[in-house]
Amino acid sequence: MAPFELVAPATPDEAIAELGALGASDAVPLAGGTDLLFDLDDGRLAPRRVVSLRRLPWQTLDWNGPILTVGSTLPLRRLETDPEVRTRLPGLYTAVRAVGSVALRHQATLGGNLGRSAPASDLVPMLLALDAEIDLVGPQGARTVPVDQFVIGSRRTALRPAELIRSVRFPEPRPSAYLWQRVRPFRDISQMAVAVAYSPARARWRVAVAGFPPRPLLVPEVEDALGPVLPPARSDLDRGAHVLSTRAPIVGDKRASEAYRRQIVRPLLERAVRRASGEKAGS
């Protein structure tokens, strides 16, 4: 590991200034560190300065009516232990608990997970299905980006130089579910994952798939096929599963073949939609 200086500014402005004073590869933000430290260790990143965000006032969780706002440096464990998250955003609860271990989630943060945008993230697909919005703050001020425009590739985000994720907003409670297929059911990287959520406001299902390169993605054709109601009609669920299995841009890699992924994505979608619908759909 190349030597770096570690700073821990107390305010967002100071943090942005610390980052902005150096180039993007010379200064990196540190949240929980559970992913960043690997890159520092093996030299994939060799910054001169690491800016710890731990003193920023962003370890927050606020319900404002239907809207949940999660501060970017809130440890994931605090997100999963919020009783309202569990009942109002059940898919998010499940996806958070799919990340690492409890100890890891006491360190890891939602902002870190998004900012690092690992291709195997269990959170990004769920955030896609929940239409999460990312509040950013940087040298040019604040802006908000929908999550599907934020994660643009494997380890690639829409973050601009010295910009930080301040919070993540979930617009409404949604019946939702997150399901995965793994060789080892717990604490493994998913061969395939499906996140579904039903938006009452938009009368529409949202479906994201993940587990294959290059990044988690929404599948609007499947959402169209599922129709506007909760639970969807049996025939619509069949059609959605068929569309997902045959038309989604699924590829194979060392974790699973394309054929196997196309086979298992059907039951994963059906089960996820049933779970989100309270097990009622298509039964």
Partner 1 sequence: MSGGRLRLSVNGRPTELADVPPEERLLDTVRWRLGLKGTKEGCRTGECGACTVLRDGHAVLSCLLLARDADGAAITTIEGVRSDPVGERVRAAFESAGALQCGYCTPGFVMALTGLLREAGRSTPLDELLEDLGGNLCRCTGYSTIVRAARAAREGLP
Partner 2 sequence: MSATARPDGAVKLAGAAVYGEDLDVPGMLWGALVLAPVAHGRRLSVDLSPARALPGVVAIGAADVAGLVDGGTGDPERPPFPSERVSYLQQPVAAVAAPTRSLAREAARAVRISVEPLPVATDLDDLFPEWPREKIEDPARVAAHVHARRGDVDGAFRDSATVVAETYRTASVHQVALEPHACVAEVTDGGWRVRTSTQSPFGAREDTASILGIPEAALVVEGTWVGGGFGGKGAAFLEPYALLLARAAGRPVRLALSYAEEFRLGRTTLPAVVRMETAVNAGEITARRVRLLLDVGTSLPGRDFATGYAIGFLLGPYRAPAFEVEGYAVRTNKPPFGPHRAPFAPQAAFVVESHLAAVARAAGIDPATFKARHLWREGDRTPFGQRVLPFGLASAFESARALAARWRSEAPPGQGVGIGLGFWSTSTGAGGEARVVLSPTELVILQGEREIGSGSVVVGLAQVAARRSGLPVEQVRVEYRDSAGAPFDAGVFGSRTVGALGRAVDAALVSLLARLGERLGSPGPVTLAVLDGEIVAVHGSGRRRVAELLTPAETAAGGLAADGKHYGRSGEIDESVVLDGAFYAFTDFTGAAHVAQVEVDPQTGSVRVLRYAAFHDAGVVVDLPSARAQVEGGVAMGLGAALTEEAIWSDDGRLENAGLVDYRIPTLREVPPIEVHFLEGFPGAGPFGAKGLGEPPIIPVPATIAAAVRDAAGAHVRELPLAPERVARELKFR
Residue 100 or residue 216: which is nearer to partner 1 going by CB?
Answer: 100
Binding positions for partner 1, 103-132, rule CB under 8 A: 103-104, 106-107
State the binding partner of 54 from partner 2, partner 1, none, CB within 5 to 8 A by kind.
Answer: partner 1
214 upstream amide cis, omega within 30 of 0:
yes
Q: Is 4 in the site for partner 2 (CB under 8 A)?
A: no
Single residue of 3, 43, 65, 141 touching partner 1 by CB under 8 A: 3
Long-range contacts of 83-89 (CB under 8 A, 24+ apart): 85/61, 88/173, 89/130, 89/170, 89/173, 89/174, 89/176
Bridge-based pairing of strands 27-30 and 49-52 is parallel
State yes or no: residue 158 binds partner 1 (CB under 8 A).
Answer: no
Where are the extended beta strands (E) located within the chain?
5-7, 27-30, 49-52, 61-64, 67-71, 133-138, 141-146, 151-153, 156-157, 164-170, 176-181, 192-199, 204-210, 217-218
Distance separating alpha carbons of residues 239 and 158, to the nearest angstrom: 34
Assess 157 for contact with partner 1 (CB under 8 A).
no
x/- string (CB under 8 A) for partner 1, residues 37-56? xx-x---------x-x-x--
Q: Does 59 bind partner 1 (CB under 8 A)?
A: no
- What are the structure tokens assigned to 15, written together? 């943090």
Nearer to partner 1, 1 or 201 (CB): 1
Indicate the residue among 102 and 201 with the shorter CB distance to partner 1. Answer: 102
Among positions 225-254, residues that touch partner 1 (CB under 8 A) are: none
Contact 74, 85 (CB under 8 A): no
10 Å Cβ neighbour count for 112? 23
**To the nearest whole angstrom, how small is the minimum distance from the Cβ of residue 212 to partner 2?**
14
Position among 69, 81, 158, 242 found at the interface with partner 1 (CB under 8 A): 81
Q: Contact with partner 1 (CB under 8 A): which of 33, 171, 228, 267?
A: 33
Candidates 280, 283, 196; CA nearest to 231 is 280
144: contact with partner 2 by CB under 8 A: no
**Distance from C-alpha of 246 to C-alpha of 154, rounded to nearest angstrom:** 23
193 binds partner 2 (CB under 8 A): no
Binding stretches for partner 1 (CB under 8 A)? 1, 3-6, 8, 30, 32-34, 37-38, 40, 50, 52, 54, 77, 81, 97, 100-104, 106-107, 186-187
